[in-house]
Amino acid sequence: MKLKSIIKEPNIYSEPMYKLLSITILFLLSYSLLAQEKQYSFNIEGTINTDSGKVTIDLFYDHDYYPKGIEKMEAEVKDKKFSFRGYIPYPQAFTISYGQQYYSRLFVVESGDQSMTLNIDANREVPSIDNQAMREYEGEYAMEYEKVRKKRKAYEAKGDSLRQFYDGNIPESIQLELETEIKKIYAEGDSVLLKYVTAHPNSYLAMWKFIELFSFDGYSDLFSSIHRQFSDSLKETYAGKVLTEKLTASAQLAIGKRFPVLTAIDSQSISLDETLLFKNKYTLIDFWYSNCSPCIAQFPHLKDMYDKYKDRGFEIVGISTDRERYKEQWLRVIEKYQLSWPQYWDKNGIEASELSINKFPTNYLLDNQGRIIKKDLRPVELEEFLQENL
C-alpha cells in the first residue's frame, strides 16, 4: 500500500528517487526474509509402554538457544501411542517426559517423519528415535565415547563399592583420589568431543551435545578449541550464534583471567566491593542457592577450613543466585548453618547466567591478584591445596 501511494505522488518523489527508494525497500524486504531461518515440518509417531496420560516434549534447560516459536508440546497417550507435529528451522534438541515418572536425556529431532519409542521404566535415558542424528548418536558418536563410557561406569562402580565398604564415610585421602580420577575422565571426554567435532564439523548432534556440556559445566579452555571446529553453517544458525555469544562472555572465567566484577549485594544491600576478591592470598568464590542440597552439604567442611585458614590468608565469598522470592530463605540458610564468611546475593542469578554458571555449587579459587587459578574444587581438594600453600 505504501509503495502505491508513492507512485501516485510524482510531485514529491521524482522518478530516479522513486526507483532508488523502491530498490532499497525490496532489498530490505529480501534481506529480512533471508535473515529469517526457513521452517521445516516434522512428524513424530511414538509408542510408549503405558495406556494413558500425557507426554511432553520440552526445550533443553537453557531456553536461550531456541528462536521464538519453538515451545514445549503435549500429546495425549491413546492405546500406547502418541504423536507430535510442528516446525523447526534445523535439527533441534529436546527432552521428553511422562508426568513425574519419566524424564529423558537430550535427543535431537529432525524435519520429516520419524518414529520414537519410550520406555518409562528407563528414566534419564535417551529415547529411541529413528532419524539421522540419533542414528549417529547410537553409531559413530557412541563408538568414539565407548572407552570413556566404560571408564565412567567402572568409576561409578568403584565409588558405590567404597561407600558401602566405609559405610558412607570414605576417608578424605580416598575421596581425593576419586576426585582426581573423575576429573581425568571428564577431561578425556572433552578431548573425545574435540576429535569428533574436528571429524564431523557439520554434525548437529555434536553441536547440541556441546551446548549441553557447556551449559552444565561452564567454560573450559578446551571448549574454545571445540567451538572453532564447527562449520560456519552451524555457527550461523540461531543456536550457533547464541553459543558463540555465551562462550565469548564466559571466557572471562578462563584459568589465568582476572575474575570479573559482579553486581551483587549483601543482606544490608551493600554492593560487593571488588577489592574483597584480592585482599587475601587466596579467595574462594562460591556460587550456591538456598535449595541446593549439594551446596549445603559442603558447608560443614568449608566452615572447618575457613576457621582453620582465615587468619593465614584465606577468604571465602559466597554468592547466592536465589530468586527474589527466596530472599528470606537465603538469609535463613546463612543463619542456620552459621556461615561466617561474606555472603552476597546475585538477585535472580542474572550475573551467573550471563557467565553461563548453571551448575551448583560452582567455585573459583583466586590468587591475591584476583586471577582464577582453579575451578570447581571439592572441599577435600581445596583442603589439600590450602595445606600445601598456606
Residues 340 and 201: their CA atoms lie apart, in Å, by: 49
Digit-coded pLDDT (tens) for 134-149: 999 999 999 999 999 9
List per-block mean pLDDT (blocks of 10 residues) for the chain, which spans 390 residues: 32 40 40 62 97 95 93 96 97 96 96 97 95 97 97 96 93 92 96 98 98 93 96 98 97 96 95 93 98 96 96 98 97 97 97 95 97 95 95
Strand-pairing partners, residue 363, are 286
Contact criterion met (CB below 8 Å) for 50 and 98: yes
Residues 29 and 224: their CA atoms lie apart, in Å, by: 35
| Domain 274-389: homologous superfamily in CATH | Glutaredoxin (3.40.30.10)
- Of the candidates 120, 55, 146, 121, the one whose C-alpha atom is nearest the C-alpha of residue 94 is 55
Taking the chain, what is the end-to-end CA distance rounded to the nearest angstrom? 76
Residues 342 and 206: their CA atoms lie apart, in Å, by: 41
Residue type, 265: I
Residues 133 and 110: their CA atoms lie apart, in Å, by: 8
Residues 291 and 294: their CA atoms lie apart, in Å, by: 9
pLDDT value, residue 21? 41
Query: Which CATH number is 40-130's, of 1.25.40, 1.10.3430, 1.10.10, 2.60.40?
Result: 2.60.40
- Of the candidates 42, 48, 35, 87, the one whose C-alpha atom is nearest the C-alpha of residue 66 is 87
Question: Is the bond preceding 361 in cis, omega lying within 30 degrees of 0?
Answer: yes
Residues 53 and 359: their CA atoms lie apart, in Å, by: 32
Contact criterion met (CB below 8 Å) for 234 and 201: yes
Contact criterion met (CB below 8 Å) for 333 and 290: yes
pLDDT value, residue 246? 97
Beta strand 112-118 with 343-345 is unpaired
- Of the candidates 249, 255, 257, the one whose C-alpha atom is nearest the C-alpha of residue 227 is 249
Q: 170 phi and psi, to 5 degrees?
A: -70, 130
Beta strand 112-118 with 107-109 is unpaired
Residues 212 and 242: their CA atoms lie apart, in Å, by: 13
Q: Where are the domains of the chain?
A: 2-35, 40-130, 141-253, 274-389
| Radius of gyration of the chain from its Cα atoms, rounded to whole angstroms | 26
Grid cell at residue 159: 565409588
pTM: 0.86
**CB neighbours (10 Å) of residue 152?**
16
Residue type, 148: V
Residues 247 and 224: their CA atoms lie apart, in Å, by: 7
